[in-house]
Amino acid sequence: MIIPARIPRWFDGLYPRRIWRMTDASRSLYLTFDDGPHPDITIAVLDMLLSYQAKATFFCIGDRVTRYPKVYQRLQEEGHEVGNHTYRHLHGRKNADQDYLNDIREAATCMDTQLFRPPYGRLRASQQKAVEGMGMSTVMWTVLSGDYDVAMKKEECAARVLRKLCAGDIFLFHDSEKAAPRMLYALKCLLDKGLKEGYTFDAIRFQDLSI
């Protein structure tokens, strides 16, 4: 069963060292993409963002950065931000701290960023403390698109992200083959509605984070 789309505000207090939404965001919304870069899907996302003059944050897997360096280079050249999503997409609670942290450090050798997002949204408090010791902030999300759920129709995915737009919302999508049919449709719907309602789509900058 897929979890609810919008993360309740009491999560901010439960996990106060994690970023669930942006503050002082004016009329900004924040698109984020996990698990790339992908040689086709990420390119499709970048083309769409360029056509809307929208910026986003890509939480990249180190192994895929090394495999698709030209895609990674393009997203940086077009003004998007990148974040560390480990090197091999490890689950924090299913791996020993040392193995998990070494995987993050390996990813850091191929991408320069102070943003981190744990795969599956799971990590231990000890792991988060160590991530902070590396100078990185843990960025989560406000709205989960659910685009990875192959049983979900693309219209249902769009409805999850369109239900309620609030300044500072961080939207989680996946630039992967599995998610693409729902993600690309929902992303276009969100861009259309957000711009129509006067929002801008901005990248998450480390210097703008408040924890």
Report, as residue numbers or ranges, the catalytic residues: 34, 174
Closest CA to 57 of 203, 188, 202: 203
Helix spans in the chain (H)? 10-14, 41-52, 62-67, 69-77, 97-108, 125-133, 154-162, 180-196
- Measured in degrees and rounded to the nearest 5, phi and psi for residue 97 equal -55, -45
Per-residue tokens: 72 = 């990674």
> Under 8 Å CB-to-CB from 176, ≥6 apart: which residues?
35, 36, 38, 41, 148
DSSP letter string, 41-81: HHHHHHHHHHHHT--EEEEE-HHHHHH-HHHHHHHHHTT-E
